Amino acid sequence: MMKIRIEITLCLLLFLVLAPFCICSGERLLVGMTLVRKATAHGAVCLDGSLPAYHLHRGFGAGSNNWILQFEGGGWCNDISSCLERAKTRRGSTRYMSKLEVFSGILSNNASLNPDFYNWNRVKLRYCDGASFSGDSKFDNGTSLLYFRGQRIWEAIIHDLLPKGLSRARKALLSGCSAGGLATFLHCHNFTKMLPSNASVKCLSDAGFFLDERDISLNYSMRSFYHDLVALQGIEQNLNPNCTRSTSNPKLCFFPQYALNYISTPYFILNSAYDVFQFHHSLVPPSADLHGHWNRCKFDPAACSAYQISVLQGLRRDMLVALYPSYKNSRRDGMFINSCFAHCQSESQDTWFAVDSPRIHNKTIAEAVGDWYFGRKITKEIDCPYPCDKTCHNLIPSPQGAKCNLISITGFTEIDYSFSSKNKFFSIHHIC
């Protein structure tokens, strides 16, 4: 009798412990990690030498031969010290990564939440090289060792997926967020060449259209950062050769606005005209605002002065100017440029496709991307200037996040943001 009671008690305790997890996992799609075991033989390893990885959730039904590959984002490291620090985190090593990833937004398998891509094979490529999957170099001074092997990681993951069905793809979409969105510009062309010639292949960048922009002190902060990154990680050899041959400064081809001109694959650009990362770390980096005159504006756009608003409108104008050739001349390309203070909008369900999702001309991001991919409509949505859009889900950094400098934030620092929607505020954890 005592034994039965103990067993019942243990079962109840087990139920109480596991019940919350079961309820939570029942609401979310959790996908396990796959390590690329053969990668080491090709030198395709993370910063610390660990194996690269991805998460694959199989498609079904009519989508069983269609594929989405989503590059994970997470900034960059452009010097040895920041890369060494990064190698000790999940941004530089699969040893520290979560082994389960939540698939939501464009990666959801729920037709009501992701109507056009829910039944496709969906893959998330984990990011551990610090250079948007593009470097091919190594640092070894006898004491410290770093592998800059993003290009090889990209190729190793593709070769691991080809026999799993990618080689038979009928439709494919290469996408990514932030640094992962930039990676799509670097790999869109060769992704197309790796798939069947009769496949419909397109590319999508979410919050990856980083501008070659002067900051408020008239310095090219991001250009300097990217130049150091390209030099450190041996990226130039992997940039689009048509782009690098066309300029006296080949490193500029790391910027999407220059690379896009040489991409023939249909492209969709999803970006906020007031992208939070670019606002805080390209336009107004801490090095250009030593006295914190922009702090209130950064925390609350409504607190910006008339002059500061004019500077922000200049950022929007420069983005639209950079996109104008694609907007005017290309019928195959699409875009959704909203006027929100946001960064990455395709992976979160609330911004991808929900009742109160951001909209332009009453069209959600998911609807715009779907119309473009399947050719239902020409989709080139440009929002009106701030503050006209009342559908935005704005990200506002916390004071803790504001203390990060450019290198630490782009290198490996995770940032806490407050989320504002419909006059409601709550905290989320966000990665640049």
| Catalytic site positions | 178, 275, 343
Q: DSSP string of 218-272?
A: S--HHHHHHHHHHHHHT-GGGS-HHHHTT-S-GGGGGSHHHHGGG--S-EEEEEE
Query: Hey, what's the torsion of the CAs at 89, 93, 96, 102, to 10 degrees?
Result: 100
Residues pairing with 70 in the sheet: 124, 175
Report CA Rg, the chain: 22
Phi first, then psi: give them for residue 318, nearest 5 degrees: -65, -35
Q: CA-CA distance, 292 to 290, in Å (whole number)?
A: 6
SS3 153: helix
Under a CB-based contact definition with an 8 Å cutoff, are residues 343 and 430 in contact? yes
Annotate 158-177 with DSSP letters as a single string.
HHHHGGGTGGG-SEEEEEEE
3-state secondary structure of 324: helix
Closest CA to 277 of 179, 169, 357: 179
The H-or-E segment that residue 91 falls in is none
The pair of three-digit structure tokens given for residue 315, joined into one six-digit string:
């950022």
Tell me which amino acid residue 285 is.
Answer: P
d(CA 65, CA 166): 8
Contact indicator for 211, 278 with CB cutoff of 8 Å:
yes
- Name the nearest CA neighbour of 45 among 161, 144, 142, 130: 130
- Determine contact, residues 93/87, Cβ cutoff 8 Å: yes
- Bond preceding residue 387 cis, omega within 30 of 0: yes
Question: Residue 329: enclosing H or E segment and its boundaries?
Answer: helix 306-329
Which residue from 193, 79, 91 is spatially nearest to 132, judged by alpha carbons? 91
DSSP 381-431: EEPPPTT--SS--EEEE-HHHHT--HHHHHHT--EEEEEEETTEEEEEEE-
Please count the other Cβ atoms lying within 10 Å of the Cβ belonging to residue 224. 12
